[in-house]
Structure 1
């Protein structure tokens, strides 16, 4: 079975995400607080699965664009992993990290083709 591509139905992933998020919203806002013993656990589980499926739905390829990870270089991947680990270890570095990323984004952005002559 190695080498076989497994088709993933993007629409079904989106529907699963919406259903899980809908159930979580119902349990959080509309269900009676004493409906069942583990209501908080079920609400959290449906919320997490719904958000994970939503992230997967966003990352899957469509007919018009490649998958979200198709054009990510290994260096960008390593930097993202290091940033996630850094934020997990020291949450107070989020704001300075965002400022540094904004500066790099501003400096390294693509320039306009037209330049005014002085």
Structure 2
């Protein structure tokens, strides 16, 4: 049983995420606390589950591409964890960190192999 792969329906995960986010939106904008006493708890729960399912849907492999984490190196993973911890400890560094990482990503991005012919 431990060697078996469990098939995951990517479409179903996306539909569950969309339904949870739609229900959270309806609860937030259409329902009052007088109509539903646990409005805040239910809205928060549907929003969190919807966002988590959306992230799960985004990470799942499709027929045309591998899983989102298939090509992540250990160094990028460690850097991402350190960035999350840094922002959690000191939220004011979030904007400068995003700017610096954007510049580094722009400079280090893969270049096109094709070049224009020389004249």
TM-score (norm 2): 0.89
Secondary structure of the structure 2 residue equivalent to 1:99: helix
Match of 2:85 in 1: 85
Q: For residue 27 of structure 2, what is the aligned residue in structure 1?
A: 27
Q: Which segments of 5 or more consecutive residues in structure 1 lack a partner in the other structure?
A: none
Cα displacement string for residues 62-101 of structure 1 (whole angstroms, at most 9, x for unaligned residues): 1001110011111111101110111011100111111211
Distance 2:112 2:19 in 1: 44
Across the aligned residues of Structure 1 and Structure 2, the Cα RMSD in angstroms comes to 1.6
Are the aligned partners of 2:21 and 2:50 in contact in 1 as well (CA < 8 Å)? Answer: yes
Equivalent in the alignment of 1:70 = 70
Do the aligned residues in 1 keep the contact of 2:32 with 2:39 (CA within 8 Å)? no
Q: Which runs of 5+ in 2 are unaligned?
A: none
Moved more, 95-104 or 60-69: 95-104
TM-score after normalising by structure 1: 0.90
